[in-house]
Amino acid sequence: MAILTMGTRPKELADLLASVAGQSVPAARTVVVANGCALPDLPPWVETVELPENLGVTGGRNAALDRLRDMDLVLDLDDDGLLVADDVFEKITGLYEADPRLGIVGFRIADETGLTQRRHVPRLRAGDPMRGGYVTGFLGGAHVLSTAMLTEVGDWPESFFFAHEETDMAWRAVNAGWKVLYEPDLLLQHPRTSPARHSFFYRVNARNRVFLARRHLPAPLVPVYLSTWVALTMARTRTAAGLKAWFAGFAEGWRTPCGPRRPMRWHTVWELTRLGRPPVI
């Protein structure tokens, strides 16, 4: 398993590692990646990687993958999360043993009161966070990746830094015939936050929307997808500063490299639509 940290949550990281150590089935290996920071003292069973600079979520996770490619599965966890139950690893093993084409498993994320925010339910109809099943995306804070799938579809897109990298991975997985499962019985307790509290969020959010379209969508869907998100952003964003940052990121998405373009098959467009989220929203 892999945990990415920026060194700002030493107590939360210690609590998370204690919950990892308390699992009924132990993790084969645990890697903590320091993203441009120094690490506190950690238990001797933890492997560490200290990156000289912050490579973002995508670069940090890829650094962990470089250490864990000999594993069948890689579990990524946020450093301020907590595994409440002690049978999480046991359940994960059972899910993958039951389905050889299972590529990604996403956790349910809830705060300390048990509330799951709507944005943490990976489908459009998000009223019931306890309804699991196959989906078109997953949450970055807690998920499992099949390394066999990664060998086929590739690693995290480092140009994204953070925001929508999970969608990029999920679209590639579905396009290659792998399944993405939302399993609400797998729970990560996580403090409630809002990513929109930073102007940087607006910029990379918009930039990476453009990256997604440029990398993966068939040409006729590119203007539909981006026009939809322009309209939604105009309707939802309440501050002039947020809109200014968003449109700056939108422009940046067109003029900066984002990796190779490999449009998904039209069959994949249909599959994503069948699963409840067509790739135009």
Q: What is the pLDDT of residues 69-82, one digit of tens each?
A: 999 999 999 999 99
Mean pLDDT, residues 249-255: 97
- If asked whether residues 143 and 234 sit together in one domain, one would say no
Helix, strand, or coil here: 4? strand
- If asked whether residues 7 and 101 sit together in one domain, one would say yes
pLDDT above 70: residue 196: no
Amino acid making up residue 172: R
Mean pLDDT, residues 105-121: 87
- If asked whether residues 25 and 144 sit together in one domain, one would say yes
Let me know: does 135 contact 106? Beta carbons within 8 Å. yes
Residue appearing with tokens 């799951």: 116
The Cα 21–Cα 44 span in angstroms is: 12
- If asked whether residues 110 and 133 sit together in one domain, one would say yes
Please give the residue range of the domain that contains residue 222: 198-274
pLDDT of residue 122: 85
- If asked whether residues 33 and 50 sit together in one domain, one would say yes
- If asked whether residues 244 and 139 sit together in one domain, one would say no
Mean pLDDT, residues 128-135: 92
Domain tally for the chain? 2
pLDDT above 70: residue 198: no
pLDDT above 90: residue 107: yes
pLDDT of residue 55: 96
Residue 42 resides in a domain: yes
The Cα 96–Cα 69 span in angstroms is: 17
Residue 279 resides in a domain: no
pLDDT above 60: residue 268: yes
pLDDT above 90: residue 197: no
CA torsion sign, 25 to 78 to 103 to 95? positive
pLDDT above 80: residue 132: yes
Let me know: does 143 contact 133? Beta carbons within 8 Å. no
pLDDT of residue 117: 79
pLDDT, mean over the chain: 94
pLDDT above 70: residue 235: yes
The Cα 79–Cα 14 span in angstroms is: 9
- Which region among 19-28, 172-181, 238-247 has the lowest average model confidence (pLDDT)? 238-247
- If asked whether residues 96 and 183 sit together in one domain, one would say yes
pLDDT above 70: residue 195: no
- If asked whether residues 44 and 176 sit together in one domain, one would say yes
- If asked whether residues 137 and 171 sit together in one domain, one would say yes
Amino acid making up residue 166: E
- Which region among 20-34, 95-109, 118-132 has the lowest average model confidence (pLDDT)? 118-132
The pair phi, psi for residue 164, each rounded to 5°, is 70, 10
Strand blocks (E) in 27-89: 30-35, 46-51, 73-78, 82-83
Predicted model pTM: 0.94
From the list 20, 155, 2, the residue with the least C-alpha distance to 84 is 20
CA distances from 76 to 21, 71, 146, 162, 215 (A): 15, 13, 11, 14, 24
